[in-house]
Amino acid sequence: VTVRGSGANAGRILLLGRGGQLGWELQRALAPLADVVAVGREAIDLADLARLRARVEAFRPTLIVNAAAYTAVDRAEDDEAAATVVNGTAPGLLAESAARLGVPLVHFSTDYVFDGRGPDGARRPYRETDAVAPINAYGRSKLAGEVAIRQVCGSHMIFRTAWVYANRGRNFLGTMLRLGSERTELAVVADQIGSPTWARVLAEATAQILVAAGWHRSGRATPGVSGVYHLASAGETSWHGFAEAIFAHVAARGAVVPRLAAIMSADYPTRAKRPLWSVLDGTKSAAAFGIALPDWRAGLALCLAER
Ligand SMILES: NC(=O)c1ccc[n+]([C@@H]2O[C@H](COP(=O)([O-])OP(=O)(O)OC[C@H]3O[C@@H](n4cnc5c(N)ncnc54)[C@H](OP(=O)(O)O)[C@@H]3O)[C@@H](O)[C@H]2O)c1
């Protein structure tokens, strides 16, 4: 799918992962900035390492945006090699292609690179400079991708985000709305704390940062802004708190909602361990670009208003 942008110096953005929650929203958010070539797995498969370079470079992009990833956190525990190819090795090859073409790479990573004990054991939001220590295979694979991109030393931005949801795709919001219509009581984990982030807000913030950095224009990449940025909603809650907020909106429309029980992670065993605290500090992108995401409740209200 190619969406034509307009204007002088119009760039050509190659967007990978067009069918994902974030990729879908990025197609819209990037469209006014440049020509956007949005591709899915059938055009560029990140697991097909042998062909990745040729496939990517054939598009002659002026910017590569990678919204594709192996995101099945529990499945990754039994499939770490495959997750690592897609999340760890392929992003490094994308960075090499970007460097060969002399263009920047934009990539997304996760709050799950942290162990969830809080920076230095304190419950304050994680900064980009805080020590990473993933506790599951998905987190390890995403961290490998960050490292691989950094090692290439080309122009890049890596946006670590968290708890992404949207009105399409598989995510917590969709699961709650489905289960809430089927059951009278739901037990939801209350001891994992993070920041639910609507994919659209994340996509729009990404587009605005690219404009602020001039990276949407052909030949205008400023390498000085390269690095990792935390880009998740402001504020924090638990999955239980997120569910309460979702059902408060549903109830306000007059629909019947389930009773919510707060449970501990230990009462809801999953294949992969999750960090208990993964709130991200957005100060760096606010200072560098004047862009910070609003409180998670604001994103949720806007997202649900579309349903
Ligand atoms: N979802 C979250 O809660 C969350 C939290 C923190 C960070 N992130 C990060 O945010 C980014 C976007 O995530 P998302 O929520 O939009 O994910 P998503 O909805 O699961 O979408 C992932 C996309 O990647 C594609 N993909 C998977 N394997 C691929 C491969 N081998 N080759 C090409 N494409 C492949 C999928 O295509 P198919 O449909 O063909 O499988 C899908 O379109 C990712 O980097 C993710 O790690 C997500």
Distance from the alpha carbon of residue 70 to the mean position of ligand 1, in angstroms: 6
Residue 222: per-residue pLDDT: 77
Q: Please, is 274 exposed, middle or buried when counting C-beta atoms within 10 Å of its C-beta (0-12, 13-18, 19+)?
A: buried
Contacts of residue 256, Cβ cutoff 8 Å, sequence gap at least 6: none
Categorize the per-residue pLDDT at 223 as very low, low, confident or very high, splitting at 50, 70 and 90. confident
Q: Is 86 a residue whose pLDDT tops 80?
A: yes
The arithmetic mean of pLDDT across residues 202-228, rounded, is: 90
Q: Say what the pLDDT of residue 1 is.
A: 59
- Segment 94-116 shows an average pLDDT of 97
126 is catalytic: no
Ligand 1 centre distance from Cα of residue 86 (Å): 10
Q: Is the pLDDT of residue 92 over 80?
A: yes
Looking at residue 151, its pLDDT comes to 98
Atom 42 (ligand 1) nearest CA:
20
Question: Using one digit for the tens of pLDDT, what is the confidence trace for 119-158?
Answer: 999 999 999 999 999 999 999 999 999 999 999 999 999 9
- Residue 6, pLDDT > 60, answer no
Residue-wise DSSP of 43-68: T--TT-HHHHHHHHHHT--SEEEE--
Average pLDDT over residues 179-193: 97
Q: Which among 164, 231, 239 is the best mutation to test ligand 1's pocket, defined by most ligand atoms within 8 Å of the CB? A: 164
Whole-number Å distance between alpha carbons of 129 and 211: 25
pLDDT over 70 percentage in the chain: 96
Residue closest via CA to ligand 1's atom 44 equals 69
Taking CB atoms and a 6 Å cutoff, what residues make up the pocket around ligand 1?
17, 19-23, 40-41, 45-47, 67-71, 86, 108, 110-111, 142, 161-164, 169
pLDDT at 3 over 60: no
pLDDT at 90: 98
Catalytic residue among 138, 165, 229, 268: 138
Average pLDDT, the chain: 95
**pLDDT tens column, 9-63:** 679 999 999 999 999 999 999 999 999 999 999 999 999 999 999 999 999 999 9
More confident residue, 219 or 151: 151
Are 196 and 172 in contact by the 8 Å Cβ rule? The answer is yes
Strands (E), the chain: 2-3, 11-16, 34-39, 63-66, 105-110, 156-161, 164-165, 185-189, 193-194, 197-198, 227-230, 237-238, 259-263
pLDDT beyond 90 at 218: no
Cα–Cα distance between 145 and 107 in angstroms, integer?
A: 9
Confidence of residue 164 (pLDDT cuts 50, 70, 90): very high
Tell me: pLDDT of 200 over 80. Answer: yes
Under the banding of pLDDT at 50, 70 and 90, the label for residue 5 is low
Residue 2: per-residue pLDDT: 59
